[in-house]
Structures are given as structure tokens and as C-alpha cells.
Amino acid sequence: MNNINSNLFVVIILAMINISCGDREITGPDDGGISLFDLKVTSIGLIVILSWDAIDNSDLIGYKIYRQINENGFAGFDSVVSEEISFTDLTVQVDKVYDYYITAKLTDNIESLPSDTVQIIPGFTTTWVLDNSTRILSELTHDVAHKTGKFFDNLPFVTAFDIDENSGYIYLLNGSAKTLMLYVEGQEPATFTNPDSTFTLFDDPSDIDYDSVEDDMWIADGLSGNIYRYSQTKPGEWVLADSLNTGGSADVGQIADNGDYWVINSKGKSVEIYQKRNTGYNRINIRGFSSGGILLALDKKRARAYAVDIGTGAVSVITATGVQSTISVIDKAISAAVEPESGDLWLLADDDGDGGYDLIKLYDTGGRIFEIDTGLSQPTWMGVNSYNMNVVVLNRTFDEPKATTFDKLGNSINTFESLTEPVRARIVKLD
């Protein structure tokens, strides 16, 4: 009888696969088109958690977990009994790429075909959120479930901020005084008022980006269209290294891994790229956008970006040679970000016009991976955690969550209520 049940179990598993795949050939764990288990992965610092759907079969004895590190090949890693539908890996290291898949075990020698493969890069991160109404900068846990207890209050009017992950310094652009301010935990805030007016050049400081690799800081000045690059000679001491002008406006900038600086020039209806040369910069101006505004999501690893024309909804892939292709049309998008490992694009948009905002995930070819309703009606910001690939969304509506974390499959993980009007956030690595 047990042999009959065993054979029946294997037949059922294979039948499920054949039904899901049609005539498609199954080639192995990297095949990527099937999932009997709906395997999911997330991380908390150096803890990786796998979870999956149970298979209802009385002869099932458990699940086997397979793992590979930095694409060095899969190997059997561990097993759990049939009653378990999760597994915790406590043996991971920072900055390594981990892939997992699981199988269902009927005996020690009989396993189902594998699940889809999931991937994660464990690491310690934290999310800093700026609350525009209370003038408080709060630090939340990796999944925004609660505050860590660190925060700065009584802030000036802040237009943007960034964090030096190497030192932990927080740099704020003071929109009222039009200066840069330094915040260090446990110390009084410092306003940079160097004799040479290094940080008092601004008309309308709109964005700041800290380059932790080069130890540089880029500041975009909206009204003047100026872009300033500062170099740190030693901790806390800066010199103005470059002053550039877009000829229009300088709204939101981002730094690629190769050191190129990408910035939106909404007045000029363009995206500009500044490439460092031995003498000066090579300026590339990419035009063709409407007057409705531009969202820019930089794919830092691949020297490309996604540009969303807010006026027309057109989503384009752009490189230093110009617009490569228009891959989709998404209406009413308010935020865009790239998932670093895959290069896929996340958008936060009311594309269906129902008044609620959806998270839309696209391949770089424009195909929709999925679209989910966030349940949020007035979101203000969205960003991707480059370690666990979770997505954080901020929202300002009174009776809705103020911060929500979604995993890379779009499942809501955690929410946080104790904010008033969160408008900006930075997700940073902790050493």
C-alpha cells in the first residue's frame, strides 16, 4: 500500500508540473517557469528566511533545501519535516549572493522536481524617513516595522538628505537657509559656513547624492540649474571640486557605479549625463520628453536608466547614446526604482485610474512581471532595498499605513503607523 501511495504521489507531482507547463520541457532548478511551492525569501540582517506553501500528502516526509553561493553550484543544504513550511539559514555572510530552491521528499531517495529558484544578498540595512510635518528624521528597521530609537527632531525645512554610509554622517539640505547641514548622532547639528562660502552657493537646493565610493557629494540646485561636486579632503572637511550648469534646472540626480552623474532637467525637458574626463566633464543631453515632468530610475550597474515621461506615460530605456526604446506606457506614475540584481523596474502608479496606487514590476523589455494594489491612496516615495530586494513605500493619508514594506514578489511584509507626513527616505547599509 505504501508503494502504491509513493508512486501515486510522484505521479501527482509530475502531473501538476505537466499541467502548469503544457509541452514545455523541464530542464532543472534554473528553469524558472514553474512553482509547486510558491517559494519566497527575505532576510533580517544575516538571517535568511525561506517560506513556501505546504503540499498536502500523507506520505510526504519533508522538504529538502538546496543552496548555492555566488553561483558556485547548488548542493543539498538541509532538510525539514513535512509539518514545516519555513526554513531559517543562519550561516550566511554579508555581500555574498545566495540562491535557494526546495524539493518535496517522499523518501530519502525520492524527491519532486525543484521549485523556482529565489535569490538574496543578506546584509544589515536601515531606513531613514523624513517626516515633513513634524520635522523629524526617524530611523526604522530593515522592514520598517518599528523605530530603532534613533531620530533627529526640530529640523529646518529640509528639501533633501543623504547619508554617508562610511561614517554615519547625515547631510541635510536646508531649504530655508539654503545651506548644507551636518547631523551626527549625539551631537548638535552643524551648519557648513566655510569662509569661501562652499555650502552657501545655492538658490534652491533640491537634491543631494553622496558617493560613498569616491567620497564625493553632488548637490543639484533647482532654480539656477547648477550642479556642484564636493570632495572630502578629510572627515568633515569639503572643497568645491566642480561647478556645472545644465542650462535649465537641476531637479533630481543619481550616481552610477561608473561615476557618471545623471540629473533631470525638467525646464529643458531632458535627462543629462555628466561623464568625468581627465579635464572637465563630457555633458550628454537626452531630449524628447514632454513638459509633464520626468521620473528617472538609474540602473547603476548597467550604465542605463529608465525614464518615465509623466505627461505621456511613456517608459523608455536610455543610455549615454540616447533613448534606446520605449518599452511601456504607465499613466500617473509618481515614483520609479530599479531592482539592482535583475535590472527590473518598479513603478508606483495609479495606472488604472481608480484612485489607488499599484506597484508595477516590469522587465527591461517592458513585459509586466506583476501588478499589485498597495491599498495606499496618497503615496509619496518608493525605494528598493538593494540587499533583500524588499520595496519600501511611504504614504501620507491619515487613516492608512505611513510606511509599508513589500517583498520582491509584491507581498506586504510590515507596516508602520507612527509617522505623520513621510515624504523622503534613504535605505542604507550598516557596517
Average the pLDDT over 82-86 and give the result: 91
Lowest mean pLDDT among 141-155, 213-227, 321-335: 141-155
The Cα–Cα gap between 132 and 55 comes to 48
**pLDDT range class, residue 392, cuts 50, 70, 90:** very high
3-state secondary structure of 238: strand
Kindly state the greatest CA–CA separation across the chain.
Answer: 89
- More confident position, 24 or 211: 211
Compute, in degrees rounded to 10, the torsion defined by CA atoms 182, 387, 87, 32. 160
Residue 6 has pLDDT above 50, yes or no: no
Concatenate the DSSP letters of all residues of 59-103 into one string.
T--EEEEEEEETTS--EEEEEEETT--EEEE----TT--EEEEEE
Q: Which helix (H) or strand (E) holds 21?
A: helix 2-21
CATH number of 125-429: 2.130.10.10
Lowest mean pLDDT among 68-77, 273-282, 342-351: 273-282
* β-sheet bridge partners, residue 131: 136, 422
Cβ–Cβ under 8 Å, residues 214 and 226: no
Residue 70 has pLDDT above 50, yes or no: yes
Domain locations in the chain as residue ranges: 2-120, 125-429
Average the pLDDT over 180-192 and give the result: 71
**pLDDT range class, residue 191, cuts 50, 70, 90:** low
b/e map 234-248, b = 16+ CB within 10 Å: eeeebeeebebebeb
- Is the backbone of residue 39 left (phi > 0), alpha (psi -120 to 50) or beta? beta
Bridge-based pairing state of the strands 147-152 and 75-81: unpaired
Q: Which three cell numbers stand for residue 153?
A: 527632531
CATH class name, domain 2-120: mainly beta
Percent of the chain with pLDDT strictly greater than 90:
44
